Every structure is written in C-alpha cells, then in structure tokens.
Structure 1
Amino acid sequence: MTEIQTEFDVPAEMRDGTVLRAGVYRPGGTGPWPVLLSRPPYGKNTPVAAIGLDPLAAVRRGLMVSRRSRR
C-alpha cells in the first residue's frame, strides 16, 4: 500500500445524540477493508506513542483506522 487517504474530524452521531469526531485513515482505492477502531482515553490527539497504535503503519498493511473522541 502506498497511497493513504486521511480525513480529520469526521462526525458520527451516536444513538444518545453524542457526536464523536474521528480521524480516518484508509488505503487508497476502493475497499472493503478491515477496520481498527481506536478510542484513546484522553482524546484523538493523544500522541501515537502513548496508545501503541501507528495508524499509518496499519494502513500500509491494508487496514482502515478510525481514531475517535468526544468533542
């Protein structure tokens, strides 16, 4: 995988009305891809080293990654 598509602050409304915002990282092209959902305890802008997941490395291996937090 060489192309990585990223979107930031993508809204997703939950059943209780809470809006979560996500950074979405995905391989280029058309899916489907398996998804890793990460919900860091201190927000999506927590440094990558603190949560042990490198979203770009995961995307290079063919996974889609979503990092969510409340906003």
Structure 2
Amino acid sequence: MLCVMVWGCGEDPRQLFETAQFEEQQHNRAHAQELYERVIQQHPESEFAEKARKRLEAWKTENPEEGT
C-alpha cells in the first residue's frame, strides 16, 4: 500500500528529480530518464520539469548518437 502511495500521481516533483539525479550518478541512465520524463509529464509547470528538460537536452548534446 505504501508503495502505491509513494509512486502515485501525487509524486513530489523535487523528490522525483532528486531520485533521477541519484539514478544518473549510479549510471542507471534508463531509470533516470524515466524519472525525468515523469517529472515533465506530471508537473509540467514546476521548476523541476524545466530542470529535467534541460538535463534530457544535455544528454542529446553530450551523446547525439544515442538520443533519448
């Protein structure tokens, strides 16, 4: 039950973004990308959505052959 509450639609954008950053630091880019995209989808007007967009764009610039 707790897991459902934590991962439900009411997720805090800061928590999601910080978790994405952690996943990125752990070289778990796929999960980080999923979390960044979730921030953008669930909280499009938040400052963290803008930060997530910038991070995903930076990946494209850093590794254009990979894409995201």
TM-score of Structure 1 vs Structure 2, range by shorter chain: under 0.3
TM-score of the superposition, structure 1-length normalised?
A: 0.25
TM-score of the superposition, structure 2-length normalised?
A: 0.26
* Structure showing the higher helix proportion among its residues: 2
* Structure showing the higher strand proportion among its residues: 1
